Chains A and B, each alone.
Chain A
Amino acid sequence: MTPSLAAVAGLTAMAALSLWAGVLARRRGHTTSDLMVAARAVRPHFNAAAISGEYLSAASFLGIAGLVMQFGYDVLWYPVCYAAGYLLLLLFIAGPLRRFGAYTIPDFAEGRFDSPRFRRLAVGLVLVIGLFYTLPQMKAAGLTVQAASGLPYGVGIGVVTVVVVSAVISGGMRGITLVQGFQFAVKLFAITVPIFALLAVLGGPQTLLREAGRQPLPRLPQATTFSVRPGELWVLPAADAVRASSPIAARWLGRPPTALRSQAPSGFVGTPTSALPPAGSGRALTVRGRMVLPAGRILWQGSGTVRLARGAPVPFGDATPPSSTARWLQPFGPLAGGSGHPLLFTYSLIMAILLGTIGLPHILVRFYTNPDARAARRTALLVLVLLGGFYLWPPLYGLIGRLRAPQLYTSNLTDAVVLVLPRQVPPPWLGQLLSAVIAAGAFAAFASTLSGLLVSLAGALGHDIYGRWWHPEAGPRARRRAFRVGAALAALVAAGLGLLVAPFDISILVGWAFAIAASSFFPLLVLGLWWRRLTLPAAAIGVAVGGGCATGAIVTTMVAAGAPPLQAFLARHSELAVVLAQPAVVTVPLAFLCMVAISLARPRPPAAVGAKMLQMHAPERLGLRRDYIPN
């Protein structure tokens, strides 16, 4: 991708804005609680914009479009369930949780069961989920900076980490709140304006779909030069005429698997298929001058540039299974259908994302900033409206990307499709302007979510681990310092891990954080708020079993991507592979089952559960309200 000065300018402007807001917030006096929860009594419409601003992460802004481009229809479940998660939050959580006055999940865990030990378990899980959720944001940071400036992936992660940590350390939650509502506006503007420009230039969705229908396979819209490196894999769905700059050694590994079912399981969960065939397999091939490459898999062994003519079928990299347009357009395409168990896969995905939103550590804090339950419900409703308005657009980028930027399939860079497309709008100055806008939007996306997550992680590290267990006697100054050190530490770990996750898809990584949250905190919140017979041991065991199993399943899937024997085993047991890659369908019911069964088997409702239920469910108008406020 060629660097673009305008995109760099867009990024720099957003970075400067974040830092400025941090400095501005620092000038006002602040207390520890200012750092962690912004002042209460925020109006619903502003609060809703701030919540949406924080929620629309890189997965929404970049990941959905990239994944739609790869897999088509099946990916629509992601945006729909991201938004619908808020419907469930509205229905079951927003009102009673606000009345209870707990503003983090550990607060709720401790307050509902009067157990500091349960709080520790919750803090541990907040750290796991938060960390999982920061990884894709880091990937997006590296990718965006790379696409805008041409700097290496790692540099982007480094720069963004420094900017976001500085903003969090100086301004805390208060500084973030200043920009978060504004950042929603930036993101909505940045996703809609370029798409309207693109549609105006390329024709409406009907025209685009007709064009896609005429091409059973994605074809290059213009002649394109690819530079290849040793170890790179191309999958050619059809024979391709190429022109090589110099002779390049390669091996032809045979035809691509016709039935995707026979593919290794990692192929459909969005992890790279790293298991290359043993050296020396296949047929040696030297690509020189003009020649026709046979359909099949080509493993490059030398480097050089290869030119493909306009209209040539696009070679696919190893991250995207090649699929015909008809298959791409229909349910159970390469993503769900490729798993071999499309219904199981789809329902598990729906469950993870729908239920996971509620368990994300940085979401509930915002509802505490509402004055009462009524405002909390109205805020959640407004968030639904705002999110619905946003999520209409990213899938369109995926469709246009398939037609107009299919070279991203070859380079495994489909996550960058939103960043790349606006440059195609003529005249060049307009394209440059739009790519500046989209780069600013992408920055707003990962920076706002990253800072919200860092505040949650730093709160857990500084407030709980340092302030409660390590140095319970520490004064407010020391606690503030611990919060800041915690933020820096969390960011450092996330940045380090971010360097490792470059090959994974952004939305797939996010989906995993959701699956863990759905299997642990969702049952805890729903049963804790609505079922008075839930006991402490039942809740603790349910959270540990659900969260633990989901984490274990996902880590196994990640490990399998790099371990051929495990991969081969999972390929033979495809039901197991699907459940490990999308564990929610098993782990959510498992967590509920543990909680209900243990509570019924050993009935021991916590003390004062009646008073707590009263606090959660009695309308404020009755005047019974007493906030549960942690120290």
Chain B
Amino acid sequence: MGGAGAPPPPPPRRRGRRSLRELEEQTEVGQVFLRALMRRQLRLSCAIAASFMGLLGVQPLLAALWPRYGRLQLLGLPLAWLVLGVGSYPVMVALGFLYVRRAEQIDDEFSDLLG
């Protein structure tokens, strides 16, 4: 995460770009740009949230429908404990990492398009 904390350089403001002005003055076109950006970001967030909640939410269901799940063992340790109590953390970190990379990409593409 090197250099993440450095304060951003003073943003180059190129007044000449029409689309940026449209965004700032909230014209119809500017609103369309902004809505498109928000929709892309929200879709990304929802996709990642849904996949995590799916992985989490399926475990109680699995235990309810297939009671043997609670008795399975892996290397002498209960599988259900490993999946929930150990496996969850790397999954959430990996999903978080994917999200941060993709969200920054979307922001950058938007800035490149307008700035």
Q: Are A43 and B85 in contact (CB under 8 A)?
A: no
Tell me the chain B residues, 59-96 only, with Cβ under 8 Å from chain A.
59-61, 63-64, 67, 69-71, 75-78, 80-81, 84-86, 88-90, 92-93, 95-96
Shortest Cβ distance from B4 into chain A, in angstroms?
5
Q: Are B64 and A342 in contact (CB under 8 A)?
A: yes
A380 near B: Cβ within 8 Å?
A: yes
**The residue from A84, A92, A373 contacting B45, defined by CB atoms under 8 A apart:** A92
A33 near B: Cβ within 8 Å?
A: no
**The residue from B4, B57, B111 contacting A621, defined by CB atoms under 8 A apart:** B111
Q: Are A90 and B96 in contact (CB under 8 A)?
A: yes
A624 to B21, CA, bound (A): 10
B residues less than 8 Å from A350 (CB atoms): 56-57, 60
Among residues of A, the one whose C-beta sits closest to the C-beta of B86 is A392
Q: Are B20 and A41 in contact (CB under 8 A)?
A: no
Among residues of A, the one whose C-beta sits closest to the C-beta of B33 is A618
B29 near A: Cβ within 8 Å?
A: no
Given the interface contacts A92-B49, A617-B41, does A45 sit within 8 Å of B5 by beta carbon? yes
Q: Are B99 and A617 in contact (CB under 8 A)?
A: no
Tell me the chain A residues, 114-153 only, with Cβ under 8 Å from chain B.
none
Among residues of B, the one whose C-beta sits closest to the C-beta of A350 is B56
A92 to B96, CA, bound (A): 12
**The residue from A73, A372, A375, A617 contacting B70, defined by CB atoms under 8 A apart:** A73
**The residue from A331, A618, A619 contacting B80, defined by CB atoms under 8 A apart:** A331
Shortest Cβ distance from A385 into chain B, in angstroms?
5
A residues less than 8 Å from B11 (CB atoms): 620-623, 625
A residues less than 8 Å from B13 (CB atoms): 623
A residues less than 8 Å from B60 (CB atoms): 331-332, 336, 342-343, 346-347, 350
A44 to B5, CA, bound (A): 6
Shortest Cβ distance from B80 into chain A, in angstroms?
6
A48 to B76, CA, bound (A): 36
Among residues of B, the one whose C-beta sits closest to the C-beta of A383 is B96
Q: Are A613 and B34 in contact (CB under 8 A)?
A: yes
Shortest Cβ distance from B13 into chain A, in angstroms?
5
Q: Mark A34-67, 1 if CB is under 8 A from B, else 0.
A: 0000000111110100000000000000000000
Q: Are A381 and B97 in contact (CB under 8 A)?
A: yes
Tell me the chain B residues, 96-115 only, with Cβ under 8 Å from chain A.
96-97, 99-100, 103-104, 107-108, 110-111, 114-115
A610 to B57, CA, bound (A): 36
Q: Are A84 and B37 in contact (CB under 8 A)?
A: no
B residues less than 8 Å from A589 (CB atoms): none
**The residue from A87, A329, A342 contacting B96, defined by CB atoms under 8 A apart:** A87
A330 near B: Cβ within 8 Å?
A: yes
Q: Which of B4, B23, B86 has the most CB of A within 10 A?
A: B4
Shortest Cβ distance from A167 into chain B, in angstroms?
27
Shortest Cβ distance from A630 into chain B, in angstroms?
22
A382 to B13, CA, bound (A): 31
Q: Are B49 and A88 in contact (CB under 8 A)?
A: yes
Q: Are B48 and A91 in contact (CB under 8 A)?
A: yes
Tell me the chain B residues, 3-57 only, with Cβ under 8 Å from chain A.
4-5, 7-8, 11-13, 20, 23-24, 26, 30-31, 34, 37-38, 41-42, 45, 48-49, 52-53, 56-57
A80 to B23, CA, bound (A): 41
Among residues of A, the one whose C-beta sits closest to the C-beta of B104 is A374
A6 near B: Cβ within 8 Å?
A: no
B residues less than 8 Å from A95 (CB atoms): 41, 103
A residues less than 8 Å from B57 (CB atoms): 347, 350
Shortest Cβ distance from A88 into chain B, in angstroms?
6
Shortest Cβ distance from B39 into chain A, in angstroms?
10
Tell me the chain A residues, 63-110 only, with Cβ under 8 Å from chain B.
73, 76-77, 79-81, 83-84, 87-88, 90-92, 95
A530 near B: Cβ within 8 Å?
A: yes
Among residues of B, the one whose C-beta sits closest to the C-beta of A345 is B60
Shortest Cβ distance from B90 into chain A, in angstroms?
7
B residues less than 8 Å from A261 (CB atoms): none
Segment at the B interface, from A203-211, A406-414, A558-566:
A203-211
Among residues of A, the one whose C-beta sits closest to the C-beta of B62 is A331
**The residue from A76, A346, A395, A619 contacting B110, defined by CB atoms under 8 A apart:** A619
Q: Are A619 and B93 in contact (CB under 8 A)?
A: no
A285 near B: Cβ within 8 Å?
A: no
A377 near B: Cβ within 8 Å?
A: yes
A620 to B11, CA, bound (A): 8
Among residues of A, the one whose C-beta sits closest to the C-beta of B109 is A619
A296 near B: Cβ within 8 Å?
A: no
Q: Are B64 and A332 in contact (CB under 8 A)?
A: yes
A92 to B47, CA, bound (A): 12
Q: Assuming A331-B59, A331-B64, A624-B24, what are 13 further A-B pairs, CB within 8 angstroms? A: A47-B5, A73-B70, A76-B81, A79-B85, A80-B56, A88-B49, A329-B78, A330-B71, A347-B60, A350-B57, A619-B108, A619-B110, A624-B23
- Chosen A-B contacts, 18 in total, with CB atoms closer than 8 Å, are A47-B5, A76-B85, A84-B88, A87-B95, A90-B99, A91-B49, A330-B78, A331-B69, A343-B64, A346-B60, A350-B60, A354-B53, A381-B97, A382-B1, A388-B93, A620-B8, A621-B108, A622-B23
User: 4 closest A-B pairs (Cβ-Cβ)?
Assistant: A388-B89, A623-B11, A330-B70, A43-B5
What is the interface of chain B, defined by CB distance below 8 A to chain A? 1, 4-5, 7-8, 11-13, 20, 23-24, 26, 30-31, 34, 37-38, 41-42, 45, 48-49, 52-53, 56-57, 59-61, 63-64, 67, 69-71, 75-78, 80-81, 84-86, 88-90, 92-93, 95-97, 99-100, 103-104, 107-108, 110-111, 114-115
